[in-house]
Amino acid sequence: MKDFYILKPGKLRRKHNTLYFVYKENNKILKKSLPINFINSIFILSECNFNTKFFNFVAKLGIPVHIFNYYGFYNGSFLPKKNHVSGFLLVKQVSFYLDLDKRLYLAKEFVRGAIHNSIKNLLYYQKYGKNLKDPILKMQNLIKKLDECRSIQELMAIEGNCKFIYYQTFEEILGKEYKLEKRIKRPPDNAINALISFGNSLLYTTSLNQIYKTQLDPTISFLHEPGEMRFSLSLDLSEVFKPVIVDKVIFKLVNNRMIDDSCFIKELNYASLNEKGKRTFITAYENRLNQTVFYKKLKRYVSYRHLIKLECYKLIKHLVGDETYKSFKISW
């Protein structure tokens, strides 16, 4: 099973028992069939036309459809009716959110995993001669203060400080061209902000896909405040995996000169990836998701994509009282 990305303007149509993407190229109308039995989800990153027959078909097959705007910002998702539902787990999930101590424990674990994995990235590059000793020590000191937090606001403040320190190291890792003075999201104001925003949007939807396959409710979260028009549990899980998936992809693309100025649209105080840039990023992103690592608990190799799903199962076991949740922390 794999994700299918639409990067060209066109139409998605059902014909008999399959899907076709119809698009125009070099003044010719082309039609491409989609391997429907092997599609995990569909990402639409360009102007696209579809009808109710298309949505009825993907709903029947249980295929989520994620829609992004022209600039690569996530707009929303079509999620078919869930087959995996549990009223018991939903009640548990809500009760853990309402109990501050229980919520804080989970929120701290998400932040602890995120900071730990960020530090691991810096330790890797320090080993290869980058001057990162000071930011590593600062982040290690901040992670020790997590247990002292008595509110979500205090926790988010520590997380914010760590992110600021971490992003300041990108100039040392990637070079002055990719200096990040300030994290600006909507809209990104330079190339590195554009890469981070696009990667985080992809990971958000990847996490949503994995949550959708379990009995968890994606709207009830613990670190991020649940709210309207967002699946906040995806934000929680994404924090843990951003350093090991999104940031690793960015480091690889930039340091190996796989991405350059020709991959960006640069306007006044604004930057985003063009079609070439999106295609390059998505290829590296998918390769990272499919990369396998040895998972000690299962005693076998699993992909980074599957690690996110395993994180969902760990969270479920914590909520029902079977096992204390410990966030994923890279050990290699």
Residue 52: per-residue pLDDT = 87
Confidence of residue 182 (pLDDT cuts 50, 70, 90): low
* pTM summary value: 0.91
Name every residue whose Cβ is closer than 8 Å to that of residue 117 and which is 6 or more positions away in sequence. Answer: 240, 241, 242, 243, 244, 328, 329, 330
Sign of CA dihedral 35, 280, 249, 271: negative
pLDDT for 73 beyond 90: no
Predicted confidence (pLDDT) at residue 176 exceeds the cutoff of 90: no
pLDDT tens per residue across span 219-235? 999 999 887 768 999 99
CA distance 106 to 318: 9
pLDDT at 253: 94
Give the residues across from 12 on adjacent strands.
Answer: 21
Residue 318 has a CB neighbour count (10 Å cut-off) of 19
Q: Is 169 helix (H, G, I), strand (E, B) or coil?
A: coil
Domains of the chain: 2-78 (3.100.10.20), 87-319 (1.20.120.920)
**pLDDT, tens digit, 9 for 90 and up, residues 193-219:** 889 999 999 999 999 999 999 999 999
Average pLDDT on 24-29 reads 85
Instruction: Tell me the C-alpha distance between 104 and 236, whole Å.
Output: 12
Does residue 286 surpass a pLDDT of 90?
yes
Beta-bridge partners for 22: 11, 31
| CA 59 to chain CA centroid, nearest Å | 23
Rounded to an integer, what distance in angstroms lies between the CA atom of residue 271 and that of residue 264? 7
Rounded to the nearest 10 degrees, what angle do helices 191-212 and 246-255 cross at? 140
Percentage of the chain lying above the pLDDT 90 cut = 61
Indicate if the pLDDT at residue 317 is higher than 90. yes
pLDDT of residue 296: 83
- One-character DSSP codes across 43-75: EE-S-EE--HHHHHHHHHHT--EEEE-TTS-EE
pLDDT of 35: 85
Q: Name the band, by pLDDT with cuts 50, 70 and 90, for residue 145.
A: very high
Higher pLDDT, 86 or 269: 86
Q: How far apart are CA 216 and CA 232, in angstroms?
A: 12
pLDDT in tens, 251-279: 999 999 998 888 888 775 677 888 899 99
- Give residue 17's pLDDT: 84
The DSSP bridge partners found for residue 310 are none
Residue written as tokens 């971490």? 166
Q: Which of 83-87, 104-108, 136-140, 248-252 has the lowest mean pLDDT?
A: 83-87
Output the DSSP codes for 291-307: -EEEETTTTEEEEHHHH
